[in-house]
Amino acid sequence: MKFQCEACERLIPLESFRVEAAVLVVTCQRCGAESRARTSVRATGESASPAQTAVSSGVSGPAQVAVSGGASIPAAHAAARVSASGEGTSPPRAPVDTLTAPSPERASVAPLRMVRGATPHAAPDDEVLFTPPAGHCPKCVSVRRPTAVSCSQCGLVYANFVAEDHTPSAELMDAWRALAARWEEWPEHERFLSTAMGRGELASAGRLYRVRLARVPDDAMAQRAREEVVRRATLVVTTEAEPQGPSLLKRRLRGGAIAVLSLVLLVLLTYVMQRMRMLFSGSAP
């Protein structure tokens, strides 16, 4: 059985109490403050029920009450001690359900307060999802200096920015909204990046993650996804550069063939000039 101390607002086990003029006095074992509660008295002199005693004294728990000294007594007997004396000769009457409220001049046990669970957060709107916050470049989402007219990172002139040129496709925007609803699940991020990579919008996906980091700098998921964007972009560049290997070999073969042909033409030209010289000198056979 426990009660809530009004001074320190803690739930304290009921270990000791005393009765003063039909008022139950409970001492907090933590802060030493005393909480008082007046109990109800039936006209018949019968002891109050354990439920009524628990409600009137602000104590909740089983029917056993632990008292100082280690002994435990039923709650009904404790309530009987709190009740006024007793047992009169009047005929029994119906029990009175209304409990006597504690006097305002005396402190009473504060009622238990219900702590509700956290309410689910509403889904962010499109401005939060797709638009960089104030103070950032609208193109590369880098920090923007207040007096600058252009971005020092991407070279964008802020006055010439056109939002439609950097808006993702409708399919990618829908995928980003769906990802925002399940942000803490990494497989959803991988699915989104695969969609962006298949549509050739990996750069737009990276920009969306930068927008997220601009609004929530400590977002671990966004940081991990941004690194994944860089890794996949590097993979795409390497894959596109591989077919250029045979083309480089062809250029080298073409250069060698041109060099050999030039050498042959030079030898032939030298031979022809030598024959012409011999012909004009009359020494030709």
pLDDT classification of 237: cutoffs 50, 70, 90: low
Residue 277: both structure tokens together:
């010289």
> Higher-confidence residue: 119 or 219?
219
Is a pLDDT exceeding 50 seen at residue 14?
yes
Q: Which residues pair with 72 in a beta bridge?
A: 66
In percent, the amount of the chain with pLDDT more than 90 equals: 36
Strand, coil or helix: 17: strand
pLDDT classification of 17: cutoffs 50, 70, 90: confident
At 242-283, the pLDDT tens digits run 555 567 788 889 899 999 999 999 999 999 998 888 888 875
Q: First CA to last CA across the chain, in angstroms?
A: 136
pTM (2 d.p.): 0.44
In percent, the amount of the chain with pLDDT more than 70 equals: 63
Q: How far apart are CA 57 and CA 39, in angstroms?
A: 7
Question: Running DSSP on this structure, what letter comes out for residue 157?
Answer: B
What sign results for the dihedral spanned by CA atoms 77, 82, 86, 91?
negative
What average pLDDT is seen over the chain? Answer: 73
